[in-house]
Structure 1
């Protein structure tokens, strides 16, 4: 605990690249990168795969990053695209589980409880059920998008990466990212009646 506190204090205001460069003399500096990004990576993985496996995949993301930090391009000040690229590779190994998750969530729209039989004020219950139905339709729409297109879409919508950052994360041209993003958003809008809930950060449980 004392080591982490020391590192966080001495790294205040430094870029990720500066911190990683200092790891040559002090590998424990990686604790700063971990503290900065673990909550975001964990939250992203949880959205994609569910909370049950998020702990393991997020932890593995940082283990892979620590093992490969010497190959980090210190010309890039932010490690965020690098870390989300690692997380994306690990998520790809759970592609079937992700597809099952979306299909299961999509079925929620068909099994929603009648608000008249639910507990609580009717307006609150109805609002909750409306949101649940939107999320179910979103899950169904995501399940119908090609995995490579969905990857780009969710890195932009849920990981808050720019197209250029997604290109670095996935090691593909920025033009490819833009075409995949356009294709994914077009499919999403068509499936959801010309709306794009991801544009406003809509989540699925």
Structure 2
């Protein structure tokens, strides 16, 4: 299949009605965004989470995107920088709260992590609902449990998770779609 020759601006404009156009935009820039965030955070997991949030934010904001003199990639990295700053503020608040409360940072050893994972697995097996959502990415699992099981409002979940309401809606929607697909596959 030949590479899509459309510009990033054209892809973002088309993505309002064509999800594949956004997928092309994502494939074009995901690696660069991940590398940038990995370099800035020093942590692969944080960088991967932030990269997902960057593209979720870009997808949610694609209707408002206006082509400018600078490339669309600059808009995307602007989103990345905003999320990086929010993540750092969140980390500083957590650190300040721990210090204020006198709670030391807990450093787990591999053996302790394995025991914790085993306990969590045992808990997950005891509740069929937890088993159902176990394969979802953590942010989708947390969002769908908070919304569907706990019946919380999207804005409440967004405040707790320190993300936008649109991102929470997207996570719930994606989780439900994945769960629905898994249920259909199980019936076949």
TM bracket, shorter-chain basis: 0.3 to 0.5
Bigger relative contact order, structure 1 or 2 (CA pairs below 8 A, ≥6 apart): 1
- When normalised by structure 2's length, the TM-score is 0.43
- When normalised by structure 1's length, the TM-score is 0.40
